[in-house]
């Protein structure tokens, strides 16, 4: 005795065939986990609150965004760098005078205090420049020392190496100190060795 369709010798009920098997049907519900397609004429919806957003790279690689510069860092000119160095020199002027006065009057305690003040001030300026890119003079002139590759501060160690490399700037009649006046990236020889640049912050 057979069941179902007499043309089916096995007696199993035939499943209705779906037209276009393997392709999504118009108006059919998509399986769970597949991206849902919006109906025609309906704009796609933005992901709801709480969904992960695609990460976006920060523009400028750490350099301040200023209109008109594009991706080129806003290099500090030679005048700004010179005035910043001059201000830093004035910061050391008071303890230097104390050293001179103490030595001239043979008041060695005063001279030692002046020397200790000079050393402490130099270390403080170095740490400040390595961590923030600014000494007192650079901050006063609105400029900053950063890595050329990403616009971040050099770090204390590399800032110290850069100061040692300034020895090369003093060779050949201090040509390296004047080099930023015409260099495309406004770099001294020490900057080129350490891959550093000085940029404007405002």
Closest CA relative to residue 82, chosen from 5, 35, 15, 138 = 138
Q: Are 162 and 196 in contact (CB under 8 A)?
A: yes
Q: What pLDDT was estimated at residue 182?
A: 95
Q: What pLDDT was estimated at residue 7?
A: 55
pLDDT by position in tens, the chain (length 202) = 444 555 555 455 555 555 544 444 555 555 555 555 655 665 556 555 554 554 554 444 455 544 444 578 999 999 999 999 999 999 999 999 999 988 888 788 888 999 999 999 999 999 999 999 999 999 999 999 999 999 999 999 999 999 999 999 999 889 999 999 999 999 999 999 999 999 999 8
Closest CA relative to residue 154, chosen from 202, 194, 201 = 194
Measured in degrees and rounded to the nearest 5, phi and psi for residue 41 equal 90, -5
Q: Name the burial class of residue 201, with classes exposed (0-12), middle (13-18) and buried (19+) by CB atoms within 10 angstroms of its CB.
A: middle
Closest CA relative to residue 69, chosen from 192, 191, 200 = 200
Find the angle CA(94)-CA(96)-CA(101) to the nearest 5 degrees: 95
Q: What pLDDT was estimated at residue 69?
A: 44
Q: What pLDDT was estimated at residue 167?
A: 94
- What is the SS3 assignment for 51? coil
Q: How many CB atoms lie within 10 A of CB 191?
A: 24
Q: Where are the domains of the chain?
A: 78-200
């Amino acid at each position: 005795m057979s069941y179902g369709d007499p043309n089916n010798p096995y007696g199993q009920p035939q499943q209705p065939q779906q037209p276009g098997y393997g392709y999504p049907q118009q108006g059919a519900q998509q399986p769970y986990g597949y991206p849902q397609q919006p109906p025609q004429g309906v704009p796609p919806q933005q992901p709801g609150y709480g969904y992960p957003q695609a990460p976006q790279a920060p523009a400028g690689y750490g350099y301040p965004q200023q209109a008109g510069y594009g991706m080129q860092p806003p290099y500090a000119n030679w005048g700004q760098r010179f005035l910043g160095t001059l201000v830093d020199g004035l910061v050391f002027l008071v303890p230097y005078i104390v050293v001179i006065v103490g030595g001239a009057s043979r008041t060695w305690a005063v001279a030692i205090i002046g020397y200790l003040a000079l050393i402490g001030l130099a270390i403080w300026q170095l740490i400040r420049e390595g961590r923030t890119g600014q000494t007192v003079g650079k901050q006063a002139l609105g400029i900053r020392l950063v890595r050329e590759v990403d616009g971040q501060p050099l770090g204390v160690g590399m800032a110290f190496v850069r100061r040692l490399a300034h020895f090369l700037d003093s060779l050949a009649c201090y040509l390296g100190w004047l080099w930023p006046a015409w260099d495309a990236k406004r770099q001294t020889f020490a900057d080129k060795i350490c891959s550093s640049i000085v940029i404007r912050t405002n």
